[in-house]
Amino acid sequence: MSLHLTIDPEFEGKIPPLREEELKQLEENILADGVVINPLIVWDGVIVDGHNRYRILQKHPEIQFTTYEKQFSDRYAAIAWICKNQLGRRNLTPQQFKYLIGLQYEAEKCSSNYNGNRLTSLDKSRCVQNEHTYKPERTAERIARENNLSGSYVRRAEHFAKGVDAAEKVAPGIKQEILTGNIKPTEKAVAAIAKAPTEERPALVQQLRQAKETEKQEEKPKPRRSAAETLQAIRDISANMLQSNGEIDADDICAELEDALDTMIFRWDTCLENNKEHRSACRDSIQQLTEKGIHYLQKMRRTT
């Protein structure tokens, strides 16, 4: 099989990169098998799934592999498929999950209104101007249903994804830091970058960096706190967690709470699905945690 395939930087950029140890393990597995078991997915010679395997093959051209040709109506349909395919990965962080959901939503809207050259970059699409003709609520609700989310989560994820990409253009490398959780800005702070004028974006990105420096300082060893001090620290964090520019409104509070709930559901689903063989061993603990969560939510419902 020829190695003359094409890597599209935009396609590859939508895929969360493997950690160094994961990439090393993949290469070791391929060398041990002497063949790439899963085919590379391509579209007119362009790779849409299998970029890491392809790079390994370039180092070891003696390894046998196969390809599977998929057909897409345009490049946005291809990007939507890439995102949906990646959402099935076991090791996604909540940030990577949210980013992929947002990209899938944006790409599907663009594909449905697309009339230009299919090799045009996503950024050059005119789908935003035509978005109202497509009834995007239908797309958001379907994606939400497929991933056990809310429609509002999907729409916020799109703003988050746009903010991540805008930040990456200002400061290459920050996308990886955000998506791996190395820095943990609020969703609102990230989304604000894409919404801001171009000249204001560097300052907003710098604020994300400053938040990381503050976090590092807080990680320095400190004397053990009492229970009361710990509780107050949690309250202080909660009071500030929404702040991106010092302004908080009711929508921000509801969005933050909904995002936290969706993230919890995602993490529980992922953990339980990926560890089915151990679920029976910790059944009692899971039951206790479930009751604790139910008790808390019932209490919130009574007091709000």
pLDDT in tens, the chain (304 residues): 556 899 999 999 999 888 889 999 999 999 999 999 999 999 999 999 999 999 999 999 999 999 999 999 999 999 999 999 999 887 889 999 999 999 999 999 998 544 444 444 555 444 654 454 445 458 999 999 999 998 999 999 999 999 999 999 999 999 999 999 899 898 999 999 999 999 999 999 998 877 655 555 544 455 555 656 655 555 555 555 554 444 556 666 676 677 677 767 767 777 777 777 777 878 878 888 888 888 888 777 777 7
Write down the pLDDT at residue 232.
Answer: 59
CA 116 from chain centre, in angstroms, equals: 28
pLDDT, position 239: 52
Task: Determine contact, residues 266/97, Cβ cutoff 8 Å.
Answer: yes
Q: What is the pLDDT of residue 97?
A: 95
Determine the pLDDT at residue 248.
Answer: 56
Could you tell me which of 94, 110, 187 has the C-alpha nearest to residue 147? 94
The three state secondary structure string of the chain is CCCCCECCHHHHHCCCCCCHHHHHHHHHHHHHHCECCCCEEEECCEEEECHHHHHHHHHCCCCECCEEECCCCCHHHHHHHHHHHHCCCCCCCHHHHHHHHHHHHHHHHHHHCCCCCCCCCHHHCCHHHHHHHHCHHHHHHHHHHHCCCCHHHHHHHHHHHHHHHHHHHHCCCHHHHHHCCCCCCCHHHHHHHHHCCHHHHHHHHHHHHHHHHHHHHHCCCCCCCCHHHHHHHHHHHHHHCCCCCCCCCHHHHHHHHHHHHHHHHHHHHHHHHHCHHHCHHHHHHHHHHHHHHHHHHHHHHHHC
113 Cβ contact partners less than 8 Å away, ≥ 6 residues apart: 125, 126, 127, 130, 131, 133, 134
Closest CA relative to residue 15, chosen from 74, 65, 87: 87
Name residue, tokens 């204001």. Answer: 200
What's residue 112's pLDDT? Answer: 59
CB burial of 6-38 (b: ≥16 within 10 Å; e: otherwise) equals: eebeebbebbbeeeeeeeeebbeebeeeeebee
- Write down the pLDDT at residue 2: 52
Q: Is 254:187 a contact under the CB 8 Å cutoff?
A: no
